[in-house]
Amino acid sequence: MAKGITQEQVSAAADALVTAGERPTVEKIRAQLGTGSPNTVTRMLDTWRGALATRLSQVLALPDVPADVGQAFTEVWRLAMTHAESLAQAALAHEQNALLAAQSSLTQERKLWDIGIAEAQAQAQSADQARQVAETRLADMQRLVEQQASQVAELAQQRDDWQRRAEQLDEAFEAHKSSATAERETQAAHVRAVEDRAHAEIDRAREETKTLQAALRQKEREASAAAARLEKALDSARAAEHRATEQGTRAKTLEQQLARMDGVPSALLAAQQSLQAALERETMLQAKLQHLTKGTRTQAVVRKRKPRSMPGAS
């Protein structure tokens, strides 16, 4: 409904239309005023028509009008009223048709608005449900974000702890590496010294063995010669048994020679024992050298592997 339209404005517009020789209608009055709803204009136009008869009656009641003029004027007025009534009825019918069309349009529009409102309510309900779901998901996401933030902080703390631990292990590894290098160098120097001493002892034992072997060969040659002489003497003794009486002096001499030859096997046995002792000493020194070399290599391998196993051991 339009605002600001008064009865005086509608009446003035209707009078202006009548003065201009036009029939006052709702559309014309609204066009002339530039505003106003059809219902309001129709109601005010009916009021104007009702007041129009009163105004004409006042005009007819003027005392200065002659009777024939008054009758003529009355006839003109009756015709005008009849024509106006027919025009009013036609306008009323037109207005009613317009109102019916407007009412139908409004009814259709209201149905459309009802449908739109129902759809809007359904959409609003769906939107409210979606909002509730979104709020629930948002709360879950916020809790998840808080949990992840807590986990990130915990992981960062663990990372810092592991980083410090790694730095400590690196420092310990470097220190152990330096110590192991120094110890390995010391051990290598010790092994080289032991090897040098062992090689010197082996060389000395070999020299002694060679000397003893030469002496043994000399003793063997002497023993072979003595055995040959002994065999020859025995042969001579067996050959001369029948001449034992005549050869008493020679037998005594032979016995003396045999007495001297008894010392040869003892010397030969002593040489063999010295040679055996030298060989055993050489074997013992070689075994000791191999044991020291093997032990040194095993310790070096263990020390090389030990720094790698430190992180797992800690």
Q: What is the pLDDT of residues 198-223, one digit of tens each?
A: 788 888 878 888 888 888 788 888 87
Selection from 10-24, 191-205, 272-286 with the highest mean pLDDT: 10-24
Per residue in 43-99, pLDDT tens?
Answer: 999 999 888 877 776 655 555 556 666 666 667 666 766 776 677 677 667 777 877
Q: What is the mean pLDDT of residues 102-108?
A: 80
Q: Which two tokens stand for residue 149?
A: 């933030």
pLDDT, greater one: 141 or 75:
141
Q: What is the reported pLDDT for 298?
A: 67
Q: Per mean pLDDT, which range of 111-125, 128-142, 248-262 is the poorest? A: 248-262
pLDDT class for 234, splitting at 50, 70, 90? low
Q: What is the C-alpha to C-alpha distance for residues 211 and 275, in angstroms, rounded to an integer?
A: 9
The region of weakest confidence among 31-40, 126-135, 140-149, 218-227 is: 218-227
Kind plus residue range of the DSSP H or E element containing 157: helix 67-239
Under DSSP, the state recorded for 204 is H
Percent of the chain surpassing pLDDT 70: 72
Q: Is 272 exposed, middle or buried (0-12, 13-18, 19+ CB in 10 A)?
A: middle
* pLDDT over threshold 70, residue 196: yes
Per-residue pLDDT, 176: 81
For the chain, the maximum distance between any two Cα atoms, rounded to a whole number of angstroms, is 237
For residue 314, the model assigns a pLDDT of 40
Per the model's pLDDT, the better-predicted residue between 229 and 41 turns out to be 41
Instruction: Report the mean per-residue pLDDT for the chain.
Output: 78
Residue 259 pLDDT exceeds 80: no
| DSSP code for 241 | G
Encode pLDDT of 285-308 as tens digits.
878 777 777 766 665 555 555 555
Give the range among 51-60, 111-120, 182-191 with minimum mean pLDDT.
51-60
- From the list 185, 181, 168, 183, the residue with the least C-alpha distance to 310 is 168
Q: 10 falls in which pLDDT band (50, 70, 90)?
A: very high
For residue 247, with 0-12 CB atoms within 10 Å meaning exposed, 13-18 middle and 19 or more buried, which class applies? Answer: middle
